[in-house]
Structure 1
Amino acid sequence: MALAVVTLTGQPALADGTSGAYGFASDDQPVTGASTTADAQLLVPGRTYKSSLPADSDVSYRLDLDATSNAYVSVTAVPRAGTLVTATDGIRVTVRDADSRSCSVESAYVGPSRSPRPVVAWGSRETAARRTSCQGEGRYYVVVHRIAGTSSTPDDWDLELAPFLEPRLEKAVGTTPTGSTGSTGSSGSSGSSDSGSLDPLTGPAVPRSGGSGFGAAAAVEQGVWSVDISPGQTLFYAVPVGWGQRIGATAELGSTRRGGYMGGALNMALYNPARGPVDDVNLGYSGSQKSASLGSLPPVDYANRYASLGSVSGTRFAGTYYLALHLAEGMGEEYGTGPYEVTLRVRVEGTAEAGPTYDGRFEPPGPFEAAAGPGRGAAGGGEGGDGVAGNDGNDAVMTVVAAAGLGGGTLVLAALGVWTAVARRRAGGAW
């Protein structure tokens, strides 16, 4: 089924990820990572930055935080195409307070693909009564460390840094994650709603090119999507997920000639609205069709942050969730340059509910305001629904994706509906 796409002015159209290179945002600000915290440059929440990471030294950046907001910094490390990486190459992101006490430590690795791909880890400073360190207003530091394998290429990696602020709640909510038995979180979803992985959608696939980075992620909703991807390429998709909804996804790599087995031939990763890792899965391949699905994820709920399991605690925000697909460079040597067809089946279960009330707005607000509001269920991009998704709340831009065959009047009405939503957002309303 062909697509008719209407792009509203205010932001460039989505990039299509036709190159294997990571798509840094055009408004990324250059920042130099310091070798010591004393020289660390400031990261301002709401902006994104481009930097670099040497193979043999740490780099530090500074955050100036208030006493009440939760702060997150997502770090995307990009090995350069054609360089040698191992499964254990990666990064470690540490957030520390002014007394060098650790607020968080998170690591991420290239994995079994052994293919240069974006590696994402995040750090956080969370305000909580049970903590004694990392509380209060003041200076905090983000330290990025390169975890280098013994046989990998010792060159610099590029970095994209994205800091976010989450305001405090107007009143406290429960601290039991929705994945726990019998719990009821801030959105009112009970733990029993998390009953295993979601079944993949069926039906014909709609062609949908992916974006080359977080900032250019292609907007999709629930549906079945056909993706062309080349060896070494990473494609990004943005999916709105509301409070009380849960997301599932399956990636299928089509058959080609028989060849040697490749572990990690296709990687699919899920990230939350603060670009924090939620879950990922690797698909082994030997030439016949294979599929891989994300694990069982809970409904989005504020209380999920208190879970010990990362795939639960990562689903703490409503908003834009990102799916990233990476096809290993080695596929080109074993099976040819492609491109290869991947079928991406995205499912969003449940109707979006009212979430907790924040005392302020996220910074930047866009990724956290892209989800459906109360009373609006998951639209079916591949099963008859018109997909509407926003990619950047700082600009009044959305893309209306409508199945071919819709009348011109229907498409105009859809566009007018999006303009209404934009106006409501600018006035401070939900959509």
Structure 2
Amino acid sequence: MKRLRGTGRTAGVLAAAVCAALALPGGARAAGEGGGYAFDDKARRVKGAISNLDAERLTAGQSYRDTIRKDGKLYYRVDLDARQNAYVSVVAVPKPGGKAGYSDGIKVTMQDGSGTNCGYQSVSFGGFGFARPIAAYTHRTIEPDSSACQLAGAYYVLVERTSESDSADWELELRYVTEPGLKTAGPTALPENWASGTPQPPAGGPQRRDGGGGFHDAASLRQGEWRTDIKPGQTMYYRVPVDWGQQIFATAELGSSPVADDYVSSALTLSLLNPARGYVASRDLSYDGDPSTVAFDPERPVAFENRFASDDATNGLRFAGWYYLSATLSPEVAKAYGDKPLPLTLRVNVTGQPRPAPPYDGDAGPFTVTDDDREAAASGLSGPQAARSATLTVVGVAGIGVGTVLVLGLGAWWLLARRASGAGPTPG
């Protein structure tokens, strides 16, 4: 009987593990639920320095949060080797409803110890007139024919904010990731021929899929037509797995409204960002109450050699992984059409057959597309939900294993008990 009680404790532990996995918090939610941007709930607080020599060191694979003032400049430190590429992204999150001038935005730069700029990206609100979350990144890229920023050592990430209209503090979400170098150098020239046509709209009709409130809980999409509703001032986030050699095409359509027919310039902004959360492209549409559509221009397939291109869009399509789409509806829409949501449809095409990854000298990390990623895209799982699903799968497999052991153990115990009592096996 003692053995049976021990078995009961094992089963109890298994049941507790299953319940705990099911009860894990987080996951995708409708964008704007609870108000504003959805920060990574595992992000650590960090304090940017005003001098590079006082900068706190960031750890690869970790997210961070900070606050930046108007016209502020903040430094962070990353320690790099001479083999891996490094990327630091920054999401700037103004207070909802704030105004924005044309040049308001952020600039993110990486520098070595001598002050040489290794790379930078500037993103502004442009002429949209309203504040919203925007993202930019900087990187140190290992290049065969370059001597700048190639050595191991301390590097510094400088985040600069430019503000004309908004004096309030902005929240920041930072993320630092690395990409392994190559075992053997590959081509650096861009292919001359590539498919530059726009594919037919995806078939199958619209399916409901609400976006997340940030990069962390972005809802997953695969090729298809996806329907949601978006409120004035709201930003929704989605992610799409795009493998090596594939192209992503995206269109946003804002549905008609019966309320009014006023004209709103730059009513919706659609942005594309890469797996390192670097800005790739954005488009905006105007709205007068009738259906209105905007689409990205055709871009090159995802390829390693794209990183050697001079234009930002091609340069950003440098690796496979989760590409992000964000859609923001201007708060100005509420003045003409009220604060109720408007219907929004995203049409996503991913074309081309996946090609082999470059010969990375190590784990590709986030710069790959796995079967699990494709399953998450089919089911709409956010990153946290996909992680919990994987946890439950492991627990389920472990449960099957423990259950099998319990059955076999009970059977052996029963046979031994019968033999000890002098009884033979039960006739079949």
TM band (smaller chain): 0.7 to 0.9
Once the 2 structures are TM-superposed, how far is the Cα of residue 223 of structure 1 from its aligned partner?
Answer: 0.7
Distance (Å, rounded) in 2 between the aligned partners of 1:396 and 1:317: 22
Select which of 357, 382, 387 maps to 2:378.
387
State the secondary structure of the residue aligned to 1:42.
Answer: coil
Q: Which amino acid is 2:139 matched to?
A: S
Distance (Å, rounded) in 1 between the aligned partners of 2:102 and 2:200: 30
- Cα deviation code 1:388-423 (max 9, x no counterpart): 577549974459xxxxxxxxxxxxxxx989x99xxx
Q: Which position in structure 2 is the counterpart of 1:13? A: 27
Q: Which position in structure 2 is the counterpart of 1:285? A: 287
Q: Which amino acid is 1:143 matched to?
A: L
Q: Which position in structure 2 is the counterpart of 1:184? A: none
Q: Which position in structure 2 is the counterpart of 1:225? A: 226
Taking a change above 3 Å as real, the CA distance of residues 255 and 389 of structure 1, as seen in their structure-2 partners, is closer
For normalisation by structure 2, the TM-score amounts to: 0.81
Q: Given the alignment of the two structures, is residue 66 of structure 1 paired with residue 81 of structure 2, yes or no?
A: yes
State the secondary structure of the residue aligned to 1:38.
Answer: helix
Select which of 315, 323, 326 maps to 1:324.
326
Q: Residues 370 and 389 of structure 1 are in contact (CA less than 8 Å); yes or no, is this contact kept in structure 2?
A: no
Once the 2 structures are TM-superposed, how far is the Cα of residue 214 of structure 1 from its aligned partner?
Answer: 0.3
- Cα deviation code 1:210-250 (max 9, x no counterpart): 10000100011111000111111111111111111111000
For normalisation by structure 1, the TM-score amounts to: 0.81
Once the 2 structures are TM-superposed, how far is the Cα of residue 129 of structure 1 from its aligned partner?
Answer: 2.7
Aligned residues: 372
Distance (Å, rounded) in 2 between the aligned partners of 1:127 and 1:162: 20
Q: Which position in structure 2 is the counterpart of 1:161? A: 174
State the secondary structure of the residue aligned to 2:200.
Answer: coil
Select which of 298, 302, 316 maps to 2:300.
298
Q: Which position in structure 1 is the counterpart of 2:401? A: none
Distance (Å, rounded) in 1 between the aligned partners of 2:378 and 2:230: 22
Alignment of 1:256-275 (within 5 A): 256=257, 257-275=259-277
Alignment of 1:139-154 (within 5 A): 139-149=154-164, 152-154=165-167
Q: Which amino acid is 1:79 matched to?
A: P
Select which of 136, 140, 146 maps to 1:121.
136
Q: Which position in structure 2 is the counterpart of 1:368? A: 367
Q: Residues 388 and 398 of structure 1 are in contact (CA less than 8 Å); yes or no, is this contact kept in structure 2?
A: no
Distance (Å, rounded) in 2 between the aligned partners of 1:71 and 1:138: 12
Taking a change above 3 Å as real, the CA distance of residues 11 and 303 of structure 1, as seen in their structure-2 partners, is farther
For the aligned residues, what is the CA RMSD? 2.6
More helix by share: 2
Q: Given the alignment of the two structures, is residue 171 of structure 1 paired with residue 173 of structure 2, yes or no?
A: no
Once the 2 structures are TM-superposed, how far is the Cα of residue 317 of structure 1 from its aligned partner?
Answer: 0.8
Q: Which amino acid is 2:328 matched to?
A: H
Q: Unaligned stretches of 5+ in structure 2?
A: 1-20, 398-428
Select which of 321, 324, 333 maps to 2:335.
333
Once the 2 structures are TM-superposed, how far is the Cα of residue 90 of structure 1 from its aligned partner?
Answer: 0.5
209-218 or 301-310, which moves further after superposition? Answer: 301-310
State the secondary structure of the residue aligned to 1:368.
Answer: coil
Q: Which amino acid is 2:217 matched to?
A: A
State the secondary structure of the residue aligned to 1:311.
Answer: helix
Distance (Å, rounded) in 1 between the aligned partners of 2:211 and 2:245: 27
State the secondary structure of the residue aligned to 1:87.
Answer: coil
Q: Which amino acid is 1:34 matched to?
A: A
Q: Which amino acid is 2:52 matched to?
A: T
Select which of 276, 285, 306 maps to 2:278.
276
Distance (Å, rounded) in 1 between the aligned partners of 2:300 and 2:371: 17
Once the 2 structures are TM-superposed, how far is the Cα of residue 13 of structure 1 from its aligned partner?
Answer: 3.0
Distance (Å, rounded) in 2 between the aligned partners of 1:138 and 1:319: 28
Q: Which position in structure 1 is the counterpart of 2:238? A: 237
Larger radius of gyration: 2
Q: Which position in structure 2 is the counterpart of 1:406? A: none
Q: Which position in structure 2 is the counterpart of 1:425? A: none
Q: Which amino acid is 2:134 matched to?
A: V
State the secondary structure of the residue aligned to 2:314.
Answer: helix
Q: Residues 225 and 348 of structure 2 are in contact (CA less than 8 Å); yes or no, is this contact kept in structure 1?
A: yes
State the secondary structure of the residue aligned to 1:303.
Answer: helix
Q: Which position in structure 1 is the counterpart of 2:361? A: 359
Distance (Å, rounded) in 1 between the aligned partners of 2:64 and 2:134: 16
- Cα deviation code 1:88-142 (max 9, x no counterpart): 2101111110011111121001123222211111101111132222111101111
Q: Residues 242 and 371 of structure 1 are in contact (CA less than 8 Å); yes or no, is this contact kept in structure 2?
A: no
State the secondary structure of the residue aligned to 1:225.
Answer: strand
Q: Unaligned stretches of 5+ in structure 1?
A: 1-7, 182-190, 400-414, 421-431
- Cα deviation code 1:58-99 (max 9, x no counterpart): 111111111111101111101101222123210111111001
Distance (Å, rounded) in 2 between the aligned partners of 1:393 and 1:360: 25
State the secondary structure of the residue aligned to 2:49.
Answer: coil
Distance (Å, rounded) in 2 between the aligned partners of 1:303 and 1:397: 35
Distance (Å, rounded) in 2 between the aligned partners of 1:357 and 1:392: 26
Q: Which amino acid is 2:96 matched to?
A: A
